[in-house]
Structure 1
Amino acid sequence: MIEVLSNAALATVQDQGREGYLRYGVGTSGAMDRIALAVGNLLLGNDSGAAGIEIPMFPFRVRFTADVAFALTGADCAARLNDRPVLPWWTLQAREGDVLTLGVPTAGARCYLSLAGGVDVPVVLGSRSTQLRGEFGGHDGRALQKGDVLRAAQSAPDTKPADYAGFGVTAPARTLLQGAATPAAGPNETVVRVLPAAEYDAYDDASVQTFWRESWKVTPQSDRYGFRLAGAALKSRQPLEMRSHGIVPGVIQVPPSGQPIIQLRDAQPTGGYPKIGTVIEADLWRLAQARIGSTIRFAKTNYQEALDAEDELQWYLNKLRQLIGLHRSAPRLPT
């Protein structure tokens, strides 16, 4: 359905992730911004587990080799279908030979291209996600390259492209608020809610205050494996020596340098650095859209607030599902 025309680095096929294999040493992978991919699938009537293309480097171009409906979600990257502007969080019908061009984002860091039916690549360990470290899943276990051709999976027989194309939704950043107690983000800053983790009390009072009060810069050494942050060094009350133990995306570890690392979707499943906090699951998608050189600030939360945030996220997706269903079922004027 599409041919890749760019050699932009690190564009990969991703779905919602490879769950249930951490105990075997296999990371979760999956879309960094799981909400953007979920909304793209909702807009197109895809299965919730359908795969799309995650694009973190721009410009990026593809040619459609067949007629297919598509959706763009995530970063606003001034997209164009041939000469026609394409709005973010929007669906369109592409025709054979059309070229989609994604420019440098005006906001956000990652764009998601979803196709009606989902990107058709083999399922490996229950997921179509690309595992770059292990070189499996996705398209030959690697990032996409110029000349790669990807097919869309077969859509349901009772659906038509016109049922999906030509409408969009409001970006979740405008709808999903973080509560009055969460500080407002400054310019070029991302605020995420964090739960104190196992070794939180091992850090001295000044470091704990710094952790919550200061902004942390996302360094160029950041990627899908983790965000390496720069700021005032965090210091423990006494030297910490730990055996390797299980970790999950969102865990904030502190290596000997005192500069935090947030583990992300391609993180290895074990690590030996102490854990000062964990970004709640409901805010991981916000991290995905933080750019290199931007800043991150941590807002302290508790377990109940984390559960409430996850409930709000599910409410948002369910509400979208209902609204999109109403759009598809509405009578259409004859063409």
Structure 2
Amino acid sequence: MTDLVVKSCGPMTSLQDRGRLGYQGFGVSPSGAMDRRALAMANALVGNSPETAAIEFVNLGGAFACEGGDLHVALVGAGASFSVDGTPVAPKTSVLLKEGQVLEVGHPRTGTFAYLAVAGGFAVERELGSLSFHLRSRLGGLKGAPLKSGDHLPCRPDAQDREPMQLAVDMIEESGPIRVMLGPQDDYFTPETIRTFLESEFTISPQADRMGFQLTGPQLEHAKGFNIVSDGIVDGHIQVPGSGQPIVLMRDRQTAGGYPKIATVISADLARFAQMRPGAKVRFRAVERDEALAAARRLRDWTASLPSSLAPVRFALTTEHLLSRNLISGTVDALAPASAEHHD
């Protein structure tokens, strides 16, 4: 068995895949990767399906060693960089990490979440169909915990014989305000409050984690009070508690809640929102169902197109690259006598 050994990492570095689906009726949060676009790109580079579990980095990077064999790896997300034994790896490029080599991941620079994928995925036992780590329930991850120094992640050695690849496509990215659909309890707010919500600028507060992002901004007044009979929660629901300050619920959210939800971030914009850091300014724009569905289809089609956007790595002919290659198989002495007579 080939292992990826954790030398160092941040406190919330964890295994994340698409999530633990189908158990919300039992109170189990789906969890899953905060940026599924970056997860899909990293997986495409190493030949995995888009939802395969990868290592998710939160604000900080880490260092990893290869033990027992070679590993084909790729890192994508939030402008994080990585290197192998000190040699930088180009963005959107996979690399073969050889036994004994050390991979270092830099901290995300343009967002919060980055993903390290390994060809074939990790040979770790799933819980309720997923490897996604959920902090509050201690489900998933490596033995119900985030990663820490000294952990060994077993990998499938038969999946590593791959050529380094690069992605000739950029992250699918929308611009402008985060798109939402109003409701399901927008009737708990006056038209004036809904107008305030859609026309105002909010700030992501430091109280932001994988469960939810607290926003600060103008107070949103309730028209019918702030308590409702608890009902189901989905990713992107925007609750407004008694404080009048909205909370955007994320992947580790609870499965039911008793605060009215003024709107819901559409699925195609949730990863873009997740990569916004505390202190970032955010605005919202209401859309209808047809626009939300069209955006979801574009994201689906973009994800499906990733394997066709792969190309073999074309190395630049730098001195460092040439010195790293075995360009000759041996040497001869031109002045030494021939070992055998040559005949035409």
Q: TM-score range by the shorter chain?
A: 0.7 to 0.9
1:217 is matched with 203
1:201 to 172, 178, 187: 187
Residue 49 of structure 1, CA deviation = 3.5
Partner SS, residue 297 of structure 2: helix
Q: Could you give the per-residue CA deviations for residues 47-101 of structure 1, whole angstroms, max 9, x where no partner exists? A: 3442100000314222222311101111112322222122333211111222222
Question: Aligned AA for 2:162?
Answer: P
Alpha-carbon separation, structure 2, partners of 1:63 and 1:119: 15
- Which of 110, 113, 117 is the aligned partner of 1:114? 117
**CA distance 1:112–1:169, change in 2 (3 Å):** farther
Q: Report the alpha carbon displacement of residue 289 of structure 1 after superposing the two structures with TM.
A: 1.1
Alpha-carbon distance in 1 for matches of 2:105, 2:151: 17
1:28 matched residue in structure 2: 30
- Aligned equivalent of 1:19, options 18, 21, 38: 21
User: What does residue 97 of structure 1 align with?
Assistant: 100
Q: Map 1:67-106 onto structure 2 (within 5 A).
A: 67-106=70-109
Paired position in structure 2 for 1:331: none
Q: Percent identity?
A: 38
Asked if 1 retains the 8 angstrom alpha-carbon contact of 2:9 and 2:61, the reply is: no
Q: Aligned with 1:221: secondary structure?
A: strand
Aligned partners of 1:56, 1:35: CA distance in 2, in Å? 16
* Distance (Å, rounded) in 2 between the aligned partners of 1:275 and 1:120: 39
1:299 aligns with 2:285: yes
Structure whose CA Rg is larger: 2
* 2:256 maps to 1:253: no
Which residues of 2 match residues 266-277 of structure 1 at below 5 A? 266-277=252-263
Judge conservation of contact 1:176–1:313 (CA < 8 Å) in 2.
no
Q: Is the 8 A contact 1:7 1:146 kept in 2?
A: yes
Aligned in 2, Cα 1:169/1:152: closer, same or farther, shift over 3 Å?
farther
Q: Deviations over 1:171-204 (max 9, x none)?
A: 31xx4435xxxxx3xxxxxx32100012213223
Take 2:204 and 2:219, find their aligned partners in 1: how far apart are those partners? 14
Residues paired across the two proteins, number? 311
Q: What SS is found at the alignment partner of 2:42?
A: helix
The residue number in structure 2 matching 1:152 is 155
Q: Give the 3-state SS of the residue equivalent to 2:208 in structure 1.
A: coil
Structure 2 length-normalised TM: 0.85
Residue 177 of structure 1 is matched in structure 2 by 174
CA distance in 2, matches of 1:69, 1:282: 29
From 289, 312, 319, the equivalent of 2:275 is 289
Q: More deviation in 109-118 or 59-68?
A: 59-68
Cα distance in 2, alignment partners of residues 10 and 276 from structure 1: 30
Unaligned runs of 5+ in 2: 313-326, 328-344
Q: In 2 relative to 1, CA 169–227 (structure 1 residues): closer, same or farther, beyond 3 Å?
A: farther
> Greater CA deviation, 234-243 or 260-269?
234-243
| 1:252-304 deviations in Å (ceiling 9; x for gaps) | 00010011111111101011010000011111111221112212221211101
Aligned to 1:309: 295
Partner Cα separation in structure 2 for residue 143 and residue 93 of structure 1 = 25
Residues 74 and 89 of structure 1 are in contact (CA less than 8 Å); yes or no, is this contact kept in structure 2?
Answer: no
Stretches of structure 1 lacking an aligned partner (at least 5 in a row)? 179-183, 185-190, 329-334
SS at the partner of 1:211? helix
Corresponding position: 1:2 with 2:4: yes
Counterpart residue identity of residue 160, structure 1: D
Q: Distance in 2 between matches of 1:220 and 1:155?
A: 43
Is 1:37 the counterpart of 2:36 in the alignment? no
CA distance in 2, matches of 1:120, 1:44: 16
Provide the TM-score with structure 1 as the length reference.
Answer: 0.87
Residue 226 to residue 293, structure 1, CA distance change in 2 (3 Å)? same
CA distance in 1, matches of 2:61, 2:259: 36
Does the alignment pair 1:132 with 2:132? Answer: no
Query: Does the aligned pair in 2 maintain the 1:13–1:54 contact within 8 Å?
Result: yes
Whole-angstrom CA distance in 1 between matches of 2:306 and 2:84 = 25
Query: Counterparts in 2 of 1:222-237, with a 5 A limit?
Result: 222-237=208-223
Q: Which moved more, 1:8-17 or 1:193-202?
A: 193-202
Question: How far apart are 1:248 and its partner, in Å?
Answer: 1.1
Measure the CA separation in 1 of the matches of 2:192 and 2:249: 24
Quick one: which amino acid aligns to residue 161 of structure 2? K
The alpha carbon displacement at 1:155 in A equals 4.1
* 3-state SS in 1 of match to 2:271: helix
**Counterpart-to-counterpart distance in 2, 1:68 and 1:118:** 10
Q: Structure 1, residues 80-127: CA drift from partner, whole Å, max 9, x if none?
A: 222212233321111122222222332121110000111221111111
